[in-house]
Amino acid sequence: MLRRTISSMFVVALTLAATFGSANGQDINRAVFTADGKAQIPVNWRQWIYVGTPVTPNGLNKGEAPFPEFHNVYIEPSAFAHYSKTGEFAEGTQIVKELVLVRKSENGNEEDGSSSEVSGRGFFQGEFQGLELTVKDTKRFAKEPGGWAYFSFGHKPQPYEKTAAAFPTDSCNACHDANAAEDFVFTQFYPVLRAAKP
């Protein structure tokens, strides 16, 4: 009897640890920071879970889209697993957005940047043009609304910068706060996250 009580207490404790561990992000792969608080560029982000690609071609934005041009967005896999299970972004969640220019076509590009290729007229991906990262960490970034901090490793071709300092709240966080569908993340543009939400 006593034995059974003790073993069922043990199971409860384990369940609680799993639940709180996950809520606290203890099972989430974390971003790495330098001693002076800069984020290090993630490793292998193109092997993360792909969630969607908004596209704002320069050709449709007076030659200069604020974020040129394709935005390929990926979420770190352990954060994705947590989101799929709970529908929430865990402490430690990392999401990147990699910018990719419209492809220069051998067939020539239209004024809007589009080109006619085998599959029809449209926009096709060319070269990489920058990498941004957001991290949710309400302890490290206690002053940022929602605990979300934002970084850029450059709006330029590779190689990207190796480290990046967090932007001031007004530069990035404020627009995400005002416009993103869910916890500062633009899930309205990410079909993969919408499909994964329980």
Note the residues at the interface with ligand HEC (CB under 6 A).
Answer: 54, 67, 71, 73, 95-97, 132-134, 150-152, 167, 171-172, 175-176, 180, 184-186, 189
Distance separating alpha carbons of residues 57 and 85, to the nearest angstrom: 35
Least separation in angstroms between residue 85's CB and ligand HEC is: 20
Residue 83 tokens read as: 């989101």
Least separation in angstroms between residue 80's CB and ligand HEC is: 13
Least separation in angstroms between residue 167's CB and ligand HEC is: 5
Does residue 134 contact residue 149 with C-beta atoms inside 8 Å?
yes
Please say which residue, 38 or 116, places its beta carbon nearer to ligand HEC.
38
Does residue 151 contact residue 164 with C-beta atoms inside 8 Å?
yes
Residue 190 burial by CB count (10 A; 0-12/13-18/19+): exposed, middle or buried? Answer: buried
Please say which residue, 21 or 197, places its beta carbon nearer to ligand HEC.
197
Please say which residue, 21 or 145, places its beta carbon nearer to ligand HEC.
145
Least separation in angstroms between residue 21's CB and ligand HEC is: 25
Does residue 116 contact residue 123 with C-beta atoms inside 8 Å?
no
Distance separating alpha carbons of residues 84 and 139, to the nearest angstrom: 23
Please say which residue, 51 or 115, places its beta carbon nearer to ligand HEC.
51
